[in-house]
Structure 1
Amino acid sequence: MPLPCLTNIFPLYWVTFFSISSTGQSGLSLQLKKFLTFVKIEHTLFSLPLIYSGAFLAAKDPPSLTQLTLILTAAIGARTAALALNRIIDREIDRRNPRTSVRELPSGRMNVREASSVLAIGIAIYLISAASLSVFCLILSPLPLVIFTVYPYMKRFTVLAHFGAGLGLAMAPLGGWFAIQQSTENLLPGALLSLFTLFWVTGFDIIYSTLDELFDREQNLFSFVSRYGRTTALRISAFLHAAAFIVLALLFAVYIKAAAALPFLLLSGFLLYLEHKKAEDVELAFFKINAALGFVILGMVVAGVYFP
């Protein structure tokens, strides 16, 4: 189904989000910039390598260009929906937090109607991509959306909210796996990659939460940092990252085995270690190192599958 047909599914008002204002092309550029900033499109760098890692791990032969393209559009749609849900649900909390008060919704640069339009577009692209891959993928597609919806509420009542973030991104390698395999048979390699992702993302979400330690405590929001202190929280994060590396090493030892993949495994361990050495520099630890680590995992899988 071509994307213009989305107007038959969702209200026409979303089109105005991209409309050209009286200032012409500059107005369109501002709207596009606002949209890209709102959905943090660059954060797809975290999930996309993991999705493709799951796909290549599942594939006996290289995936087709059509499959790779549909996986890409599904990833972009799901990521857009996840960010939009998070921003809409957390908008009042973001308004009270000095660090996040400049975001589009709390600052007033975007209203809830516009944000809901972005959410609708993201869900539509995701579901259409899943359906185009297979009926099996379409049947499973609501599960990540449920996780994306529940996760933002978790910080209101449990420190396990960090695991909600991890579980959301852990769907990425499974999504890639199911896009190729289209069944639950022989799922263990994909499940191990997903478990690695759960531990890894939960660990770095704990590091990221150190930015809001005082605010979370004042607002009675739940995180390991606000409840147990920074030192204990970072120890828990380190434990989770050690567990993540053990799971990744198990995946390598049992299923990948290729010598060409070993340097990528060792590099992933170094990056996880470096993430904790640089934990005070959240910009480096959270964004740059994690983005690099995702591509290292993809490199390990590709090297293992195609250079045995």
Structure 2
Amino acid sequence: MCPFRFLIGGANTLILKKNQGHLSESNLLRQLQKFLRFVKIEHTLFSLPLIFSGVFLASKEPPTIVMLVLILTAATGARTAALALNRIIDREIDRRNPRTAVRELPSGRMSLYEALVVLAVGSGLYLGSAAIISPFCLPLSPLPLLIFTVYPYMKRFTALAHFGVGLGLAMAPLGGWFAVQQSFENILPGLLLSLFTLFWVTGFDIIYSTLDELFDRTENLYSFTSRYGRTKALRISALLHIAAFGALALLFIFYIKALAAVPLLMVSGFLLYLEHKKAEDVELAFFKINAMLGFVILGMIVVGVYFP
């Protein structure tokens, strides 16, 4: 038998195994991209600056690297669980909405079982990190998950559902505060930051709801936009953002007091204003401006606390 046949056969086997390896890596990458799209990992740009704002506001000394990593892990787990809950509960509504029908669950690219696994992993990561941070944080940690479980059902019977989103994200700075303080004492600065977050997030969720005005009316879903019309809804959103800036100003006047942070306070007010000037462009108003605003708030607090 010709020895070249063995060489050729061996080469073909190596090529086949190499191709299978590439296919396996490619499939793994596609799966990872699917899960990242499912949980909208880029939306952590809203919550992470708020959480760390709470951390630094509560810290007289810079937190340790270990503490920061634990807080980051808890935040990532909580955000993952919150998005998974929302997608699972709303999957039938999303299937009927042309804007959201392309999402992973309604389109069939992800199974309900896979979504439940994501929810379990995110929840476990969040609760486990909270337990390691401190025994004080663990009993409080289910509260945000409860809020994000209730919120999707609220829009089925009340336009106040926007406040459900705001309240859920308002837990972020409080979570950062409690991770450091581990008590309810002297909590007022943390509450003011949380109040800012409540008004800010509720306001920009109203802007986001303008994308679904017609669908919400057709499906009898409640939002300020579907109940009162786009113009009135945007006015309510503007009032909420004025209230948000008021809470931020109170935090600055009574607790931050750093002249070096004044420009950042002014920039935050300008970004809130710009969000309404650009409300027609929801991609810009909702995603880009809000992401910038979160980091401006974080910068203001870091400058105010550590460079008074």
* TM-score normalised by L of structure 1: 0.93
Question: How many angstroms apart in 2 are the aligned matches of 1:223 and 1:213?
Answer: 8
Q: Where does 1:70-219 land on structure 2 (aligned, <5 Å)?
A: 70-219=70-219
Match of 1:226 in 2: 226
Unaligned segments of structure 1, at least 5 residues: 1-19
Contact 1:59–1:180, Cα closer than 8 Å, also in 2: yes
What's the CA shift for 1:21? 9.6
Q: Distance in 2 between matches of 1:161 and 1:33?
A: 30
Residue 63 of structure 2 corresponds to: 63
Please state how far the C-alpha of 1:23 moved relative to its aligned partner.
Answer: 2.9
Say if 2:31 is the partner of 1:31: yes
Question: For each residue in 1:20-57, what CA deviation from the matched residue of structure 2 results, as whole angstroms up to 9, or x when unmatched?
Answer: 99931111001000000000011000000000000000
Task: Tell me which residue corresponds to 1:49.
Answer: 49
Question: Which amino acid is the alignment partner of residue 37 of structure 2?
Answer: T
The 1:112–1:268 alpha-carbon spacing in structure 2 relative to 1, beyond 3 Å, is same
1:85 aligned partner, one-letter code = L
Distance 2:67 2:262 in 1: 28
SS of the aligned residue for 1:302 comes to helix
- Name the counterpart of 1:285: 285
Q: State the AA in 2 paired with 1:76.
A: T
Q: Which amino acid in 1 is paired with 2:269?
A: G
- Residue 138 of structure 1: CA displacement? 0.5
Aligned to 2:271: 271
Deviation of the 1:179 alpha carbon: 0.4
Kindly provide the CA deviation profile for residues 101-132 of structure 1, in whole angstroms up to 9, marking residues without a partner as x. 00000000001000000000000000111011
Aligned partner letter, 1:107: S
1:295 deviates by: 0.1
AA paired with 2:23? T
Contact 1:47 1:172 in 2 (8 A): yes
SS of the residue corresponding to residue 185 of structure 1 reads: coil
Aligned partners of 2:151 and 2:111: how far apart in 1?
A: 22
Unaligned runs of 5+ in 2: 1-19
Deviant stretches of 4+, over 6 Å: none
What amino acid is the match of 1:186? Answer: N
Map Cα deviations across residues 60-97 of structure 1 (whole Å, 9 max, x no partner): 11011011001100000000000000000000000000
SS at match of 2:186: coil
1:248-263 alignment to 2 at 5 Å? 248-263=248-263
Displacement of 1:139: 1.0
Contact 1:21–1:28, Cα closer than 8 Å, also in 2: no
With normalisation by structure 2, the TM-score equals 0.93
Task: Name which one, 1 or 2, has greater alpha-carbon Rg.
Answer: 2
Rounded Cα–Cα distance in structure 1 between residues aligned with 2:142 and 2:37: 25
The answer (yes or no) to whether the contact 1:165–1:202 under 8 Å persists in 2 is yes
Question: How many residues of Structure 1 are paired with residues of Structure 2 in the alignment?
Answer: 289
Summarize deviations over 1:159-178 as a string: whole Å, max 9, x none. Answer: 00000000000000000000
RMSD: 1.0
Distance 1:164 1:27, change over 3 A: same
> Amino acid of the residue matched to residue 241 of structure 2?
H
1:246 is matched with 246
Task: Tell me the secondary structure at the aligned position of residue 136 of structure 2.
Answer: helix
Maintained 8 Å contact 1:73/1:125: yes
Q: Which residue of 1 aligns with 2:294?
A: 294
Q: Distance in 2 between matches of 1:260 and 1:199?
A: 25
d(CA) in 2 for partners of 1:178, 1:91:
33
